[in-house]
Structure 1
Amino acid sequence: MDRERVRDRDAAGRARSGRPRDGLGRPLAYGADGVARQPEGVARTPAGTVREAQRLLDAGMPFHAHEVFEDAWKARPEGERELWQGLAQLAVGLTHAARGNATGGARLLLRGAGRVEAYVREGAGAVETYGVDVAGLLAWARKLAERVGARPDGTVDPVAEAPRLSGGRTGAE
C-alpha cells in the first residue's frame, strides 16, 4: 500500500521540517531535545541584527546567526544586501567548518569575505556598515579558511572561532 508522505509545514503553509535541530542546525530525530530555531522574518534594526547575531555566535550557534543575517539581507535596502548576505555566508561557513565540512566551510568563508570586501574598498563612511568591523572579519575569514582548508579532516570549535563583529577579538588568533 502506498502511503502519501506528509510534509511538515509552518504556520504560513510553507514546507519546513518540524524536526528539532542541534546548535549547528543539524536535524535531530523527531522527539529529541533540540535548540530553539530562530523565527523567520523578524524585523530588527541593523544594530539589533548585529547584537543578536553576535550573541548567537558567542553561544556557538553560527547557523542561527546566519538566519538572523538572512532576515536582514531580505529586508534591508538593495545597497546593503551584499553586506548582510556576506555576513550570512561567513556565519554558515563557520557552521560548515564546525560540522567537519572543511571544503564547504572554507569556500563559504571566502565567498562571504568576497561579498563584504566591497564595504572596505568603498572607504570609511561611504557605505554604512553599522559598526561591523569589516576589515577584521575579512582577516578572520581568510585565516580561518586557510586553517580549515589545511586540515580537512578536523572540525573547529564554533565558540573559540567565533568572530567579533564590531571589532576587538576575531576568533581564535
Structure 2
Amino acid sequence: MSGRDRDAEGRARSARPRDGLGRPLPYGEPGVARQPEGVVRTPAETVAEAQRLLDAGMPFHAHEVFEDAWKSGPEAAAPLWRGLAQLAVGLTHAARGNAVGGARLLRRGAEGLAGPGAAGPAYGIDVPGLVRWARELALRVEGGQAVDAAAEAPRILPGDEPPAGEGG
C-alpha cells in the first residue's frame, strides 16, 4: 500500500488540503475547497464559473472547470476548452514562480486556441484577446516579472470588464 488516497478506480485523489494556487498544504491546515470533478455545465456556466475562480486568484481551480468542459462537451469544442485549461495552468505556474513552466503552458494554450484545428465553437469567448494576453504574459514571466494570479486574471468574454480595482 502506497499510502496515497485513491478513488474506486484506483486513481490518485489526494485528500491533502490545497491553497488557492493548488499547492498542497500540510495535513490539518485549512485549505481552499477543491472543485468537484466531472461536473457537466453549459458553456455559459463553464465561462461564468471559470471567470469567478480566475478573478478570485484561483486559476488552478478554473483549469479544473475548463477540463470538465473539455472532457464532457462536444468533440468540436475540445480544442477550445483544452486551450483555456492550459492558459489557466500556465497562469497557475507563473503565479507559483515557475517562469519556465508558466511561459511554456501559456504559449501552448495560446497555440491551441489559435492554431490549426481550433476552428470549433467559441461560445462568445474572446479567443484573440486571450491569445494576446497569454503571449504577452509569457514574455513578462520570462523577463522575471512576478505574477499575482488575481491581478493577471484574463477576461474570458469580450467587453467583460472586471469590477473596479480587480482583475486585469
Determine whether 1:18 maps to 2:25: no
Question: Which moves more between the two structures, 72-81 or 103-112?
Answer: 72-81
Match of 1:134 in 2: 127
Measure how far apart 1:14 and its partner are. 3.0
Determine whether 1:80 maps to 2:77: yes
Which runs of 5 or more structure 1 residues have no equivalent in the other structure?
none
Give the total of aligned pairs.
163
SS at match of 2:77: helix
Match of 1:166 in 2: 157
Query: Which of the pair has more CA radius of gyration?
Result: 1
**CA offsets 1:110-131 (integer angstroms, 9 cap, x no match):** 0000001148984xxxx42111
CA pair 121-24 structure 1, distance change in 2 beyond 3 A: closer
Which runs of 5 or more structure 2 residues have no equivalent in the other structure?
none
SS at match of 1:44: coil
CA contact (8 A) 2:39 2:68 kept: yes
Matches within 5 A, 1:62-77: 62-77=59-74
Measure how far apart 1:80 and its partner are. 1.0
**CA offsets 1:79-136 (integer angstroms, 9 cap, x no match):** 11111000000000000000000110000000000001148984xxxx4211110010
Match of 1:146 in 2: 139
Q: State the TM-score, normalized to the length of structure 2.
A: 0.90
Measure how far apart 1:13 and its partner are. 5.0
Q: How many Å separate the matches in 2 of 1:36 and 1:121?
A: 32
Match of 1:96 in 2: 93
Match of 1:108 in 2: 105
Q: State the TM-score, normalized to the length of structure 1.
A: 0.87
Measure how far apart 1:64 and its partner are. 0.1
Match of 1:27 in 2: 24
Measure how far apart 1:10 and its partner are. 3.5
**CA offsets 1:147-171 (integer angstroms, 9 cap, x no match):** 00111xx530001100000023596
SS at match of 1:16: coil
SS at match of 1:31: coil
Amino acid corresponding to residue 29 of structure 1 in structure 2: P
RMSD: 2.0
